[in-house]
Each structure stands twice: as C-alpha cells, then as structure tokens.
Amino acid sequence: MLIRTPKDWETSAAVTTESHYHARPRREFLRTLGVGLAGAALLRPGSLFAATAGFPPKPNPLYPASALKPTAEEYVTGYNNFYEFGTDKEDPKVQANKGWKTDPWTIELKGLVNHPAKFDVNELIKKIGGIEERIYRFRCVEAWSMVIPWDGFALAKLVALADPKPEAKYLKFTSFQDPKSAIGQREGNLDYPYVEGLRIDEAMNELAFLATGIFGKPLPNQNGSPIRLVTPWKYGFKNIKSIVTVEFTATQPKNTWNIMAANEYGFYANVNPKVDHPRWSQASERIIGGGFLSGRQDTLMFNGYEKQVAALYQGLDLKKNY
C-alpha cells in the first residue's frame, strides 16, 4: 500500500468521499475488469466520437480525488466564460454545441524550439504517455470560484517535447478562429483569436496543466474542447480554451483581456486578495453551487497554491505586475 504525505494545496475544509462524481466508479469498474482502451471508449456512451475519448485518465496518487470537493458537474459545464460562444454564462453550453467540430483537432508547437511539430490531439496524448486526474481550485477574475476535477497532463511535458531553445522565454497560446461556428466571433465581442501567455518557468511549474477532460470524460465543447490550459494559481482568463498553437517566444506575448482593458487585466493574473480589480474587491469570492449558507469564502493568495508558485515571483512587485 502506498502511503504518502498530502501536498499542502490538497488540504481543504471541504472533504468529500470517493463517490463525488459518476465517472470514477465506472473507471474503477473498468479497471477491475481489465477492459482495454477500446472497450472503455465503447462503454462510454456519447463520447465515442469525441476527441480524447480513448484515453481513460489514470488517478495520480499525488492528486487524490478526496482532497477537494468538486463543484457539481452541472455548474462546471453550464456556467462558463467562453466569449467565442456568447457573453452570458449560460450561452457557451448552448452555442458551442450547435455543430462546432473539435474532432479531429490539430495543435501546433512552433517558434523558438528544436522540435516544431503538428499533432492530432489524440496522437499528442499517446506521445505524452496518457492522461491523469487533478482536482484544482478555480478562481475567475469576476470573484467567483469552483473546484474542478481535470484530466490531462503536465504542461512541462509539452515543453519538453518541443525542446525550447535557450532564447525562448515565454509561451504564447492561441485559440481557434472559426466565425462560422462561433457566434461571438461573428459579433466581434472581443479581438479574436483569443490569445494568452506564460513565462516559460511558469509553464514548467508542477501545477501548470493542459486539460483534455473533466469528470473523467472528454472536455465538453463549452469547457474548451479538446485541449485547454489550466493554471490554478491564476485568474480564470489565463486558462485559454481550445488551443491551436503554442509558440515559444523571446518577448512577452500579448493576452486578450490585457489588450481589451490593460488597467483591469494584467499579464500575470495571479490570484491576489490584496490587489483589487479597479471595479470590485478581490478579497473574497462567491462559491458557485455553494448555496446560501456557505456561499462565500476568503480568497487565498495565489488561490491557495502559494507554496508551489511564490518562488516564481520573488522580487516582483505584484501590485504593479497584476
């Protein structure tokens, strides 16, 4: 039996049991029976033709399902920010499922790397060696939060695959451009395509993750199918969805919300209860699905992941670099 000390960021007042979501018992059932990848995909109705459906996530003992209580799945998949599919929280679930195709999907690695490449997402997952589960807190800049069980792989693995040249200091992520499918792009509610960036040392931090699924299933379209960024110590807008290119650059890339309103949204986007948004406080947050009694909580520095990431920002003025 494996005995381990929980990581600091796994502890929470909200502890749950193994049965917090439906996919887990099914996966354990499949494992017990020794059903292979093809069988698992066949037994998962509705996801047979979805990208990444053939890869049941492996539980990662370092990120146990019991540490944080996930938000109910209906909120995670029904209360979304994905401006390509509308500006209301309820829009993406409807608008991203009107024929927008995310399978097949190609993701390109380019720029200052020794191994530029284009991968089909499923090929990429195979090359990376499969996917794992991680449950992270998620904090939107609009002062609400969720807990989301992600499936995917460490972004550091993608960086290793690209093999950056010494001059590469940043990653620039670009989302898809397809106005025919995306009503928000037709309306022009933001400058598109949506772009985001990370410093390369941030991208290689143990927490930085590329998600290909939630709740043990391939990502629903509205959550950024088939592959999206997850940086749990940063505000939600950093977590760019439906990525088509990852470019390694020498200079700091632009990011969409900073382009739209630089005084409100910075490059760093680190969760910081002491630095208010110009139009609202960041000291506390609304817990989505938390109900009336436990509906708010204090926001934590770096969203509770201080031990893992604080060293990245030593000597940086976080009031200026918001």
Ligand X SMILES: Nc1nc2c(c(=O)[nH]1)N[C@H]1C(S)=C(S)[C@@H](COP(=O)(O)O)O[C@H]1N2
| Structure tokens belonging to residue 292 | 């009336």
Q: In this structure, what DSSP letter does residue 276 have?
A: -
The alpha carbons of the chain give a radius of gyration, in whole angstroms, of 19
Per the CB < 8 A criterion, the answer to whether 118 and 107 are in contact is yes
- The least distance separating ligand X from the CB of residue 292, rounded to whole angstroms, comes to 22
The residue (of 239 and 245) whose beta carbon lies closer to ligand X is: 239
Q: Where are the beta strands (DSSP E) in the chain?
A: 106-111, 117-120, 132-140, 144-154, 170-175, 195-199, 209-214, 217-218, 228-230, 243-249, 284-287, 296-298
In one-letter notation, the amino acid at residue 1 is M
Let me know: does 305 contact 11? Beta carbons within 8 Å: no
83 lines the binding site for ligand X (CB under 6 A): yes
**Considering CB distances under 5 to 8 angstroms, the limit depending on partner class, which of Mo ion, ligand X, none binds residue 215?**
none
Residues between 199 and 238 with contacts to Mo ion, criterion CB under 5 A: 236-237
By rule CB under 6 A, what string of x and - marks binding of each residue 16-55 to ligand X? ----------------------------------------
Pick 92 or 216: Cβ nearer Mo ion: 92
Determine if 143 is a binding residue for Mo ion (CB under 5 A).
Answer: no
Residue 102 within binding range of ligand X, rule CB under 6 A? no
**Least distance between ligand X and beta carbon 281 (Å):** 18
216: DSSP letter? T
Under the binding rule (CB under 6 A), the answer on residue 80 touching ligand X is: yes
Which residues, 6+ apart, have CB-to-CB distance to 3 below 8 Å? none
Convert residues 102-141 into a mask of x (bound to Mo ion by CB under 5 A) and - (unbound).
Answer: --------------------------------------xx
Residues binding Mo ion: number (CB under 5 A) = 5
Which residues contact ligand X (rule: CB under 6 A)?
80-84, 140, 175, 194, 223-224, 236-237, 239-242
